[in-house]
Amino acid sequence: MAIQLSDIEPLSLQGLTDIAAADTTVKLLQVKQSLLGKDSEFTKLRATLKDLSEEERREVGSSLAKAQQKLESAFLTKIEQLELAEISSKIQTDFLDVTLPGTPTKAAKVHPHTQERLRLEEIFQEMGFTVWEPYMLDSDYNNFVALNIPDGHPARDMWDTLRINENLAFIVHTSSMQNRILSSQEPPIRAIVPGKTFRNEATDARHEHSFFQVEGIYVDKGIKLSDLLGTIKVFLNSYFGREMPIKVQPTYFPFVEPGLEVMMQCPVCEGAKPLDCGGCSGSGWMEVIPCGMIHPNVLKAAGIDSNVYSGFAWGFGLDRLIMIKYGIKDLRLFHSGRLDFLNQF
């Protein structure tokens, strides 16, 4: 059935009434869809224009367009009114007085590992060391071969390795970065590598399968053992905030020659050596930093002439230093997620 002029006016008046009655923007948008959407009466009427004569089509089409424009104008006016009203209402109900005191909240804390690592990095950076991040997974070459520990070497028994395959393993020490650092730049080289290491360990109060270690290397012309001991002494004094007497004893690691163990006077009994001391068990000393002069084979593997350059390296457990500093008895607490422990730091 063809559209008539008389069909347009009632629809237009009803549409204006529905627009005026809408009291939310959601309802208004629904009204607009029903009036002007693809399934609306106006759309259906427009589709019948083709059935009219040219003169009727011109007259009826013009009237239909004016009615739709009137509805569009009414819609725009109404939605502006509703949006302003809704904003005003929201301001009244959601008003925030920024001059009032804030609601107290408990800020999160930085994990003790992170706190102490940042302090440690600061100390070494003041001495001119750069900070490197280790690879958590690295090759057998970097974990062992480049460190003077070839395949079949008995020293490999010291590290029970968690392997992905024959050539890829979780790093057993941050020393795995030595070759990468030494082969990537020319001496002088001063770097520390704080990072997480992994071993197949039986977990107890002093052992974990995952723990933090800090590697240090210094290579230049004329570097001596006294430079190593002086660097470690400055670090320990700065880290513990007081004079820390040290002594050394020989030990063995394939990648250093000679190999040393730096011992620090027990901070619990301060060297008094009571048999019941929880820090040193009566010896007066605590082993803290394995170290030594970098083996010529390690320098050679990195392309550095050991006849021209020398250097030293260390690799100590950050967990152990934190335990000593704060009197912590159980290494497993660091990984426990216990808030009563973590909130102390």
Does the pLDDT of residue 40 top 80, yes or no? no
Q: Which fold has domain 112-342?
A: BirA Bifunctional Protein; domain 2 (3.30.930)
Model pLDDT for residues 280-290, shown as the tens digit of each residue? 677 788 888 99
Q: Which of 83-97, 217-231, 265-279, 300-314 has the lowest mean pLDDT?
A: 265-279
Q: Which of 16-30, 220-234, 238-252 has the highest mean pLDDT?
A: 220-234
pLDDT at residue 3 greater than cutoff 60: no
| b/e per residue 3-19 (b: at least 16 CB within 10 A) | beeebbeebbeebbebb
Q: How far is CA 139 from CA 168, 184, 205, 314, in A?
A: 5, 17, 30, 21
Confidence band for 226, pLDDT divided at 50, 70 and 90: very high
CA 285, distance to chain mean position in Å, is: 37
pLDDT tens per residue across span 78-107: 888 888 888 887 777 777 777 888 778 777
CB 312 within 8 A of CB 190: no
Q: Hey, is 82 helix, strand or coil?
A: helix
* Residues classed as catalytic: 159, 173, 199, 213, 256, 313
Mean pLDDT taken over the chain: 84
Where are the chain's structural domains?
5-93, 112-342
| Cβ(228)–Cβ(293) below 8 Å | yes
Contact 312, 294 (CB under 8 A): yes
Query: Would you state the pLDDT for residue 166?
Result: 80
DSSP assigned state of 133: P
